[in-house]
Structure 1
C-alpha cells in the first residue's frame, strides 16, 4: 500500500482534481486534458493513456447513469455509435504495440496525441460556435431526428480509433460531429447520448490497454481519488462561473498543449498562446456581434445570451 503514495501521488492528485473541476464546469471529456498533463509530468505516453482510460471508464459510468435515469439519451443513435466505436477502440492498444520498440511507440503516441489535441481544440471551438448560433432555439422537447446509420457508424468508428490510440476524443470530437449530423438534436439528448455511447467505447479501449500495458496503481489511484470530488465541485460552480470564459481558456490550453506535444519550440508555443489569449476574445466578440449579441456577455446564461436577447427570442 505504501508504494501507492510515491513522490508523484500529490501532484497527480492535484492535477486530477483540477481537471475534474474543469470537467464539472464544462461537461467536456477529461482525456483531452488529463493525458497531456500526465505526459508533461514525465509519465510515458502509453502509461498515461492506459491509466487515463481506466479512470475515465469509472467516471463516465456515473455521469451516464444520471442521464439515463432522466431519459435524455437517444438510445438508437447511441447504438450505432457503439457498433462503430467499440471494435476500433479495443484495437487501439494493439495497433500501438505493433509499431516497433518502446521508443518508437512513445514517439508515435506523442505525435498522435498532439495531432488529436489540435483537432479537439478546433472542434471544441466549433462546438462553442454552434451552441452560440443555436442559442435558446434548442428545444429539449423536440422530436428525435431520424437516425442515419452509416454516417453515425463512421463517426463512432473514427471516434473509437482516436480514443483507443490516444484516449482523446470520446467527448468533444464525437459531440461536434453529432451536432453537425443532427442539428435538431437537443443539447440534453446530445450530452446524454454521448455519455451513454462513451461507456462501452472507453471500457473497450481501457480493456485493450490493460491487456497490452497493464495499469500502474500509483497513477490510477490518485486519478480516481481526485477526479470525482473535482468533478462534483466543478458541477456546483457551473452556476456561478461564466462557462464561455472557461471554454475559451480550454481551447487555448488544448492548442498550446498540442504544439508542445508535437515538438514545436517553446518560444513559438509561447507566442502562439499569447496570440490566442489576446486575439481570442476579439474574435469571439465579433462572432457574437454577427449573431446580434453584445460583444461580451454580462450574465451567465445558456449559450451566452443576455436576458434582453433571451426575451426578444421568446416573443
Structure 2
C-alpha cells in the first residue's frame, strides 16, 4: 500500500484538487496552473504537458456534455475553431520532438510555457477589463448569435491549437479572450459552451499526439484526474460565495510570476515584481474602475448579501430572471 500511496502521489492529489477548485471558481483552463505545478513538483516539462493534456481531455468532455445537453454552444462557431485548432494541436508533440534530445525538448517546452503564461496573464487582464466595460456600458446582449467570421475564427483556432499542443496552455483562457474580442455580443452561456465544445477535440488531438510521441505516466495521470474532478466540482459550488474579482486578479499575479520563473528570471527579481504587482495592481484596477464611473475600491453588493441597493434583474416571460440581465448583474458583482 505504501508503494501506491507515496508522498509524490499525495502531493499530486492535493495540487490537482486545489487547481481544480480554482478552475471551478473562475472557469479558466487548468493547463495554465496545472502544468507549471507539475514541473515544480519535479515532473519533466514534456511529461507534464502530456499528462495534463490527457487529464484535461477527460475533464473537458464532462463539461462539454453538460453544455451540449443545454443547447448552449454555437456549433457553427465551434466548427470553424476546430478546423484550425485540431491539426495544429496534433502537430505540437512532433514539433517538440524535432528539437532534439530530452534535455533540449524540456528546455524548449519550459521556455514556451513561460511565454504562454505571460501571454495568458496579459489576455486574462484584457478579459477582466472587457467584462468591466460591457457591464458598465449597460448594453443588452442580443438573443441572437452574431454572424460567424470564418477566417479570423479559423486563425484563432490554429494559433490556440498550436499553443495548446506545445504547452497545454490556452484552450480555456487565450481562446476565450479571442472569442470575446471577435464576438462581444455573444452571451456568456453561449461563449462558455462554445469554448468547451471546441476544446474537447482540440485537447484530444493534442493528447493523442503526445501519447504517440512520449506516452503517459500513470502515476501522474491518475492523481490528476482523481484530485482534479472533485476540486472542480467544489470550486463550482463555491463560485457564488467568493469574490471573482479578487480571485481573478490573484490568478494574473500567479501566472505572471510563474511565467517569469519558467523563463529563468532570478528569484529575487521575481519577488520584487510580485511585490510591485501586489501593491500597484489594485491601484491600477481602481483607476480602471474609476474610468468606467465606478468607485475605485468599493465592492458592489451581490444578490447573496441581502442588500436592496442593487435592483433585481427583470423577470422573463416565464417569471425567471431575464438571462442577459441576470448575466449582467452577476458580472457586475464580479467587477
- What is the TM-score when the length of structure 1 is the normalising length? 0.94
> Which portions of structure 1, spanning 4 or more consecutive aligned residues, are displaced by more than 6 angstroms?
309-314
Q: What's the offset of the Cα at 1:190? A: 0.8
Q: What's the offset of the Cα at 1:183? A: 1.2
Query: Greater CA deviation, 52-61 or 179-188?
Result: 179-188
Whether the 8 Å contact between 1:73 and 1:196 is mirrored in structure 2 is: yes
Residue 279 of structure 2 corresponds to 278
* Structure 2: runs of 5+ lacking an equivalent: 315-324, 326-335
3-state DSSP class of the match of 2:235? helix
CA RMSD in angstroms, aligned pairs only: 2.0
3-state DSSP class of the match of 1:264? coil
Query: Greater CA deviation, 132-141 or 240-249?
Result: 132-141
Residue 187 of structure 2 corresponds to 186
Confirm or deny that 1:260 pairs with 2:261.
yes
Q: What's the offset of the Cα at 1:161? A: 0.1
Whether the 8 Å contact between 1:242 and 1:300 is mirrored in structure 2 is: no
3-state DSSP class of the match of 1:212? helix
Residue 53 of structure 1 corresponds to 53
Residue 76 of structure 1 corresponds to 76
User: Per-residue displacement from partner, 1:151-177 (whole Å, max 9, x unpaired)?
Assistant: 100000000000000000001100111
Query: Greater CA deviation, 182-191 or 11-20?
Result: 182-191
1:71-150 alignment, distance < 5 Å: 71-135=71-135, 137=138, 139=140, 142-150=143-151
Distance of aligned partners of 1:139 and 1:24 in 2 relative to their CA distance in 1, 3 Å threshold: farther
In structure 1, what is the Cα distance between the partners aligned to 2:311 and 2:295?
A: 12
In structure 2, what is the Cα distance between the partners aligned to 1:270 and 1:54?
A: 33
3-state DSSP class of the match of 1:142? coil
Query: Greater CA deviation, 293-302 or 247-256?
Result: 293-302
3-state DSSP class of the match of 2:216? coil
Residue 163 of structure 2 corresponds to 162
Query: Greater CA deviation, 175-184 or 84-93?
Result: 175-184
Distance of aligned partners of 1:212 and 1:138 in 2 relative to their CA distance in 1, 3 Å threshold: farther
3-state DSSP class of the match of 2:125? helix
